[in-house]
Structure 1
Amino acid sequence: MTLIFDSKLLKIESFLLIKVPLDISKELSSRGLVMVKGTINDVDFKKTLEPDGKGSHWLEVDPLLYEKIGVEIGETISLRIEQTNEWIEPKVPEDMIHAIAQADVEDQWRSITVRSRWEWIRWVRSTKNINTRNKRIEVACSKLQKGDKNPCCFDASRCTVTEVSKSGVLVD
């Protein structure tokens, strides 16, 4: 199912992003992370929609996509999105890469689904506190050693990008 809507290009801190209207997000299968493909002003893209902590989603507009869509902050843009099960590999933070190697769990990391890798990364990055982050990386490695595939007790509907959220909710 293709979802069509207009939204504005926003800037929060150093992030360029597009909020998905609540009525459009409700058509998606999850309040958590969702992979979509589609177009922004007729420019093809494939990205994750991050939950906003309020029942909807948002997507980051990286510099290359920003250049291609050719709009300024605050301008309205047209989107066509379709949910997909073809997940793109997440960028694994350097501290996690190092810890996974040190814990010798690279094989287990590669054996879990791409979506599961996204969820581990989201759980780790959902705190600004470096001590908590380090503890989560340690726990993730321990759980991966035991064969766990996903983080436990994690509210997947919260925004985990701390630069643009407060207490798991996208800032306005």
Structure 2
Amino acid sequence: MGKSDALVFETKLHRPSKPGMDEGWRYLVLPKSVSDKLPRRGRTSVEGTLNGAPFVATLEPDGQLSHWLKVSKDLGEAAGASAGNTVTVQIAPVDREPEPDLPADLKTALAAAPAAKAVWDDTTTIARLDWIHWIETAKQAETRQRRVDSACDMLASGKKRVCCFDPSGYYSKSLSAPQAAE
């Protein structure tokens, strides 16, 4: 799918019920019919516009076989959009998935495990995204540490894909869009 095949849709911009420390962000959920045309159910990087304002972002899986997009305060302002507004979105998958940022704990663990690091370096960008997402979806620090340790063990044994991780969140329900405050 190239830029000429951009997907255009309208949807509502929501305010999350639990925004965390950053009160300014909003989000939108893609219609399933639009997500169905994307290259994968998991994290997918796109470029596009929100009410004409350009952005590049990574869509997150919503656990319902669709995706959601975090809209920063700056993008919302550039698009002239507030929570509750219907927005026009145009997206297309990026030509090449950007290399993910390596979390500090995983970076440290890989540096201490040369065999794991070698396999990590030999995996695809999408596989690395899945490993990172699996680690980052841990809800407790102990679970996260276990996942970092397990990732290094699995990688060192030659495993290039994380096992038992559903990147769409549909089967394991590990991923979902935020709850709307409205």
TM-score, scaled to structure 1 = 0.83
Shift of residue 74 of structure 1? 2.2
Residue correspondence of structure 1 range 1-172 to structure 2 within 5 A: 1-12=5-16, 13-14=18-19, 16-104=26-114, 105-158=116-169, 167-172=174-179
Distance across 1 between alignment mates of 2:101 and 2:15: 22
SS at match of 1:87: coil
Moved over 4 A (4+): none
- AA aligned to 1:145 is A
Larger Rg: 2
- 2:29 and 2:177 in contact (8 A); partners too: no
TM-score, scaled to structure 2 = 0.79
- AA aligned to 1:169 is S
* Structure 2 unaligned regions, length at least 5: 20-24
SS at match of 2:75: helix
Shift of residue 71 of structure 1? 2.1
SS at match of 1:135: helix
Higher mean Cα deviation, 57-66 or 40-49? Answer: 57-66
- 2:61 and 2:168 in contact (8 A); partners too: yes
- AA aligned to 1:39 is T
Q: Which of the pair is proportionally richer in strand? A: 1
SS at match of 2:15: strand
Tell me the number of residue pairs that the alignment of Structure 1 and Structure 2 aligns: 166
Distance across 1 between alignment mates of 2:49 and 2:102: 26
- 1:35 and 1:85 in contact (8 A); partners too: no
Shift of residue 120 of structure 1? 0.5
Go from structure 1 to structure 2 and tell me whether the alpha carbon gap of 1:54 and 1:64 turns closer, same or farther (over 3 Å shift): same
